[in-house]
Amino acid sequence: MMTFLSAVDWARAQFALTAIFHWLFVPLTLGLGLIMSVIETKYYRSGDAFWRRAAQFWQRLFGINFAMGVATGIILEFEFGTNWSNYSWFVGDIFGAPLAIEGIVAFFMESTFVAVMYFGWEKVSRGFHLASTWLTWIGATISAWWILVANSWMQYPVGCAFNPDTMRHEMVSFWQVAFSPFAVDKFLHTVISAWVIGAVFVVAVSAWYLLKRREAEREMALKSLRIGAIVGLIASVGAAVTGDESAYKVAQVQPMKLAAMEALYDGGNDVSLTGVAWVNPFEQPNYKEEHEAPLRLAVPNGLSLLATRSWHGYVPGVNDILKGYTREDGTREPSAQEKMARGRAAIQALADYRRAKNEGASEDEAAAYKQVLMDNFQYFGYGYIRDESELVPYIPVNFWAFRIMVGLGTLFILFFAYILFLNWKRRPTASGSVYPRWLLVAAIVLLPCAYICSESGWLVAEFGRQPWTIQDMLPVTASVSDIGSSAVATTFWLFLVLFTAMLVVEINIMLKQIKRGMKEVKSEK
């Protein structure tokens, strides 16, 4: 098996493995961090020792998860140097900047204040401790900002220029990279969706205490559940709003991703938004011969409205993008074959320019090659594509992952809204709780669903831009390090065992701490 798969396949598999495991810890850090900060704020304002004990309980669970997230995140960043050295060389001047800021500023900020948060209860004032708790969460959020800036730049490369003399991309505008519309929207959607996971986690743990009728934790469970539901409802609605804007941005700069998400083979005007359709999850559809996926149910004109903000807007499908099409502003988008030809011309011009410079050719000759390179550099990455079918991402993953994400997101809105409705009615059941047993059971069941929803969103984001490491600029086949597949395969299996063990350990520690409940939480002296 190690020889059957190439180094590119193993490098992609290893990075996907690390990223998926890492993202199991990050959203809970962001979401639970917000809720524990809100709870400690209630302690600061009221002085009630109950809120202090509640804050300490949730902070204890936060700390367990925080430590695991740091360990997996460090490995993730090292993989850019070990497995993707060509990528790191080509754009390291740009991509490395947000990662460096994240490590120097955000990570040190959160790691500093997390120490005060855990060990400073008896050593600093209530106000300073509250500030430390909020700054721990803010530091984690800023850390997420810079990581998402780096990822967004890969999806929508801006603020850069290629230098043929150094063979590297160089940053020309830090502000364009750091605050591109794509980065801002991706940050908002990702972080707000992480709040949903934190809210579901708090509600699920609280529901377990209520199901077990743990009297020592009853008050904490009831009040925490309500806070979690409020945060969850606001975040779920916010994720839907930012998700809509994210889809609009994708339609503008990554039309092939949108076509894959919708299984849209042939586009046009007045395009419907697919609700459900039969897309075989195990094979790429024959998009060149099929007009649309079978058994399709859709909302009339919905996709045109989503992608163009017009009921009658033009949305290209997979075949339109491959064949070339005319945008609504009248500009023509070249076909895949044209882009591939111009990409090969750019690659050849770069080689000729480098040769001319090394051999001492005239400045006019070198300038002529450079001009050809710059005229075609927009499609440089297409020169590495061998067949236009490589430009079509795996449609089944994008189609179904998108629907899982949207479907579960809608379910969370209804779930949190119903919890708050019951709080508002305040009519106790036979057991004395305002929540029926089935709802408490559902809260626990929805916890893994929240992670599935979040991971599905990342599958769409990353599978949808294949075959590109950097959209339209550098494919994965040209990004990988020059190493043997067996070396990457070996570390893949090692990481799989390591990360699985870490996940099992975290779950085990979390469950033990939840079962202990408030027993080990110290009261205020």
Q: Which residues pair with residue 315 across a beta bridge?
A: 268
Q: Which residue is it, tokens 């895949």?
A: 336
Q: From 328, 490, 295, 289, select the one nearest 399 (Cα to Cα).
A: 295
Distances (CA, A) of 194 to 190, 305, 345, 508: 6, 27, 44, 22
- Are 223 and 209 within 8 A, CB to CB? no
pLDDT of residue 399: 93
Q: Is the CB of residue 266 less than 8 Å from the CB of residue 317?
A: yes
> Is 183's pLDDT higher than 60?
yes
Q: Residue 3: pLDDT band by 50, 70, 90 thresholds?
A: very low
User: Which tokens belong to 208?
Assistant: 């377990």
Residues with Cβ within 8 Å of 142's Cβ and at least 6 positions away in sequence, in order, are 102, 105, 106, 109
Residue 277's φ and ψ, nearest 5 degrees, are -165, 165
Confidence label for 447 from pLDDT (cuts 50, 70 and 90): very high
Q: What are the C-alpha distances in Å from 200 to residues 125, 142, 213, 278, 421?
A: 31, 22, 20, 31, 17
* Residue ranges in 287-430 assigned as alpha helix (H): 302-308, 318-323, 336-358, 363-376, 395-425
- pLDDT above 80 for 414: yes
Tokens 């001492």 appear where?
Answer: 360
Question: What is the pLDDT confidence band of residue 413, given thresholds at 50, 70 and 90?
Answer: very high
Q: Which two tokens stand for residue 374?
A: 């710059």
Is 338's pLDDT higher than 90?
A: yes
Beta bridge mates, 168: 163
pLDDT digits (tens, 9 = 90+) for 253-268: 899 999 999 999 998 8
Q: Which two tokens stand for residue 381?
A: 């990455």
pLDDT tens for residues 51-79?
999 999 999 999 888 877 777 777 777 78
pLDDT by residue (tens digit) across 92-146?
Answer: 888 888 888 887 877 778 778 888 888 888 888 899 999 999 999 998 899 889 9
Q: How confident is the model at residue 5 (pLDDT cuts 50, 70, 90)?
A: low
Rounded mean pLDDT, 32-45: 94
Phi, psi of 395 (to 5 degrees): -60, -45
Q: What percent of the chain has pLDDT over 70?
A: 96
Q: Look up residue 380 and give its two tokens.
A: 């440089």
Q: What is the distance between the alpha carbons of residues 450 and 74, in angstroms, rounded to a whole number? A: 24
Whole-number average pLDDT of the chain: 88
| Cβ(340)–Cβ(385) below 8 Å | yes
Mean pLDDT of 37-60: 92
The confidence score (pLDDT) of residue 2 equals 44
Q: What is the pLDDT of residue 53?
A: 92
* More reliable by pLDDT, 292 or 399: 399
Beta bridge mates, 268: 315
Is the per-residue pLDDT at 471 higher than 80? yes
For the ranges 288-292, 338-342, 383-387, 409-413, the lowest mean pLDDT is seen at 288-292
- The H-assigned helical ranges of 434-516 are 437-463, 485-516
> Which of the four pLDDT bands, split at 50, 70 and 90, describes residue 451?
very high
Mean pLDDT computed over 170-188: 91
Q: What percent of the chain has pLDDT over 90?
A: 44
- Taking the CB of residue 491, how many other CB atoms lie within 10 A of it? 17
Query: pLDDT at position 233, please?
Result: 96
Please state, in angstroms and rounded to a whole number, the distance separating the CA atoms of residues 91 and 377: 15
Contact between 290 and 263 (Cβ < 8 Å)? no
Tokens 């992952």, residue located = 401
Answer yes or no: is pLDDT of 429 > 60.
Answer: no
218-256, pLDDT tens digit by residue? 889 999 999 999 999 999 999 999 999 999 999 988 999
Strands 160-163 and 468-470: unpaired
User: What residues does 475 pair with on adjacent strands?
Assistant: 468
pLDDT surpasses 50 at 211: yes
- Looking at residue 488, its pLDDT comes to 85
* Cα 5 from Cα 73, distance rounded (Å): 26
- Picking from 112-121, 189-198, 437-446, which range would have the lowest pLDDT averaged per residue? 112-121
Helix, strand, coil percentages (3-state) for the chain, rounded to 5, are: 75, 5, 20
